[in-house]
A and B are shown apart, each in its own frame.
Chain A
Amino acid sequence: MRPLPPDRSELSFTDGKPPLSPLQAATEANRCLYCSDAPCIKACPTGINIPEFIRKIATGNLEGSARTIFDSNILGQSCARVCPVEVLCVGDCVYNALGVPPIQIGKLQRFATDAALARGPLPYAAGPDSGRSVGLVGGGPASLACAHRLRRFGHRVTIYEARAQLGGLNVTGIAPYKLPSADGLAEAEAVLAIGGIDVVTGVSVPTDLSWATLLDRHDALFIGVGLGPDSRLGLEGEGLRGVMGAVAFIEQMKLGQVNLRGVQTAAVVGGGNTAMDAVRELRGLGVPDVVLVYRGDEAGMSGYRHEWEGARKLGVRAAFRRQPVAFEVAEGAVTGLRLAPLGPDKRPLGVDPELLPAQLVLLAIGQGTLGHLVEGLDGVQTARGRVVADAAGRTGNPRVFVGGDCKNGGKEVVNAVAEGRDAAVAIDELLRRAGAEVA
């Protein structure tokens, strides 16, 4: 894999939630009630046995604690830092019902997993060789989780990744104050340390390598290609300097450099979590004035409330019920955005558009889907751009499985991990069955 350049823009960020000290961790761990059939476990898409790993922190059994986490979620280290715990495990802690601060599960998980990775390789060995092989398309969280579980079952694994490095959005997309790209990459390496995972980077499927070839090479395939490029508004001038997709911008910031010289005001269009990240990142990169432009009301944004509150604290402004209708342009670059006021029904009020001067406009109005990539794969269906599959990731083609954003339409890292892991179990079942038939 290509090493990351040393002068990345993301390096100007510091840890948004610093790690716990041993005393903080012990104090917090001892507060956990060790609930039975705990609600936090159910709220975790990967079903980590949270009370158990926390008890093990309390007793000083850090190795066992990490093991409890990784058994369910091999990307437990990044999940500890990137999961929206407020709406997952922590949100369901029974302490909430008592009006007592809930257990800081994410931070405890980070404490245990950081310690484990600092100690050395994860304590997993590959299963005895099954003689079967699986091709994984895409190298993001879904595929990494799938690959690791497949290795534990003893299957041979090859990951085909279009980019120069593994990790998917965990490396290219996560806000740097949650997880810098180097840490995402290090975690991917830790997953590979189980051995026997071949990695081919720089190949885009099916352009560079056809499905037919892959089906020839492998007994089964897993598709974990995530989502496509940022969606566009469809306005004239979108290709000009100063207009970018938010996810593309974030990737550039994380893996290289972004040039914000002369940017006094930046506008971010959208109300989802990518928009929430983008406004905070722009403030963090030193843009003096950042404006979130959203069609609906504050309450109607799909971005998490806690993220928006964080953005507000950083001084981010908002223009609600506003729809971009045109770019202002001078000398081949954007200078502003024309915004049409909308009514509560998100319909234009018919009044004159306002001008928002802005030297940078990021579009965070969603990402395209990659369902079209699987056209030509026998039996595999898509719906609204997503690859159709059952809960275990089985598509209409018995040899093809899917998981992560390209299946669920775009959720969280932890969902991708759960789906990748569960698909591995389904693939193992298939390969064992096939093995039994041959024998």
Chain B
Amino acid sequence: MPDISANTAGIRSPNPFWLASAPPTNSGPQIMRAFDAGWGGAVWKTLGQPIQNVSSRFGAIPWGGRNGVGFNNIELITDRPLESNFREMAEVKKRYPKHAVIASLMVETREEWKEIIKRSEDAGADGLELNFGCPHGMCERGMGSAVGQEPTVNARITSWAKEFATVPVLVKLTPNVSDILPHGLAAQAGGADGVSLINTIKSIIGVDLDTMVPRPLVNGRSTNGGYCGVAVRPIALHMAAALARDPRFNLPISGIGGVANWQHAVEFLLLGSSSVQVCTEVMLRGYRIVEDMIEGLEGYMRKHQIETLDGLVGRAVPAYTEWGELDLNYETVAKIDANKCIGCQLCVTACHDGAHQCIHPNPDGSLRVPIVDESECVGCNLCQIVCPVEGCITMEPVDNGYAPATWNLHLTEDAALRPKKGSH
């Protein structure tokens, strides 16, 4: 059995699956139920000066008749008294000493940081997560993403936290920036032990067409909220990987954003995260999803004969490179497996209207298997994406006789490039 115990910046947990700071970690009883279900760690719902929330708070994008492919919220940090939170935190730590309990924190002044860090550590927190990410409400009060968007403020507050903390400190970054790197480096400069990302993305989830008010509706008005759920995973993966592959950035990463199952979690691990946090999928389907995440991860590691998480974390990072380092002479063409084709011709339409007009209906009108004009196919793979039959359209490499050549090599060493296809 592979060992899936995890360690992010010295915060250890029986597995890499943590609950992100959000409603599923609102209280001690919830977190204990989550640990019973199998979660390895929990980042407590952000603690600070308790706030007052609005109703409604959530919006969701449906796809294929089901809600929640994308999710957004206008909820703030904890609305519960700090005493209750810390009392419950101590109780959780007493009952679950091996699980990771991380206190997510958001306050303003140096004194407040000092005080809340002390109380967190007294309650037994295994680590701290500084919430520099909340993109609504709190930033209007000078906290959350207002901190995360200013590298100097980020570094300053991080250094305060490091001054007061004895347990590891993670900085939770906001994705509401054009380039994540300076913000990750600011946390590093402030002395952080690790980073977690992403928090939610500034968004308007939609507009209620009957009332003509954006969603979620709060007594005839709305506001921008934080976007999350499976739809944000590509953005989150990119940001986590952008840090993981930069040689100047050396901190451990806890990956967050759009994880709904073990496969998504493995993607984060492969791109350099050593733990993975989940919020939306748990809100939608419950703590029970972790059973499959654990089994799926173990099954994957067995299949690839990987014994510990270290053998997995970051394995995909070296293959993530600049566009200028990609081989321009690598050529593929689409191949349609006539035995698998069901004749929907979605590829014909996609290629004609959205690509390079080189998949044609079969000239033999009695057959619906389309024909690829390989001399024109640019190998974009749009047809493969629209094909509903797995393995029916494959992208097959073509030997064009050219040695591999990147754009960068072409610029620096005048490497020969193959003739362009489909550009007449």
Contact = CB atoms under 8 A, between A and B. Distances in A.
B412 to A, nearest CB: 43
Interface string A11-33: 00000000000110000000000
B285 A34 contact: yes
A60 B303 CA distance: 13
A61 B288 contact: no
Interface in B224-272: 261-263
Contacts of B389: 23
A64 B295 contact: yes
Contact of B262 (A22, A59, A67): A59
Contacts of B50: none
A67 B291 CA distance: 12
Interface in A178-200: none
A130 to B, nearest CB: 25
Contacts, number: 34
Interface string B118-150: 000000000000000000000000000000000
Contact of B291 (A36, A63, A64): A64
A401 to B, nearest CB: 32
Contacts of B263: 59-60
A64 B390 contact: no
A116 to B, nearest CB: 12
Given A23-B389, A61-B299, A55 B292 contact: yes
B289 A55 contact: yes
A60 B296 contact: yes
B2 interface: no
A22 B291 contact: no
Interface string B281-298: 000011011011001100
A61 B390 contact: no
Given A23-B389, A59-B263, A64 B296 contact: yes
A67 B299 CA distance: 12
Scoring B263, B286, B296, B389 by chain A CB atoms within 10 A of each residue's CB, the highest score goes to B296
Contacts of B390: 22-23
A52 B295 contact: no
A293 B79 CA distance: 72
A56 B288 CA distance: 12
Which residue, of A56, A61, A63, A64, has the highest number of chain B Cβ atoms within 10 A? A61
Contacts of A55: 289, 292
Contact of B292 (A22, A23, A59): A59
Contacts of A67: 295
A54 to B, nearest CB: 11
Nearest to A60: B263
A56 B263 CA distance: 11
Contact of B288 (A52, A58, A60, A63): A52
Contacts of A52: 288, 291-292
A64 B286 contact: no
A100 to B, nearest CB: 9
Contacts of B286: 36
A60 B299 CA distance: 10
Contacts of B285: 34
A336 B389 CA distance: 55
Contacts of A59: 261-263, 292, 296
Contact of B295 (A23, A34, A58, A61): A61
A36 B287 CA distance: 11
Contacts of A56: 292, 295-296
B262 to A, nearest CB: 6
A23 B389 CA distance: 8
B270 to A, nearest CB: 16
Interface in B295-315: 295-296, 299
B199 to A, nearest CB: 25
A34 B291 CA distance: 14
12 contacts: A23-B390, A36-B286, A52-B288, A52-B291, A56-B295, A58-B261, A59-B263, A60-B263, A61-B292, A61-B296, A63-B299, A64-B296
Q: 4 tightest CB-CB pairs across the interface, nearest first?
A: A64-B295, A59-B261, A61-B296, A56-B292
Given A59-B262, A63-B295, 9 more contacts: A34-B285, A36-B286, A55-B289, A60-B296, A61-B262, A61-B295, A64-B291, A64-B296, A64-B299
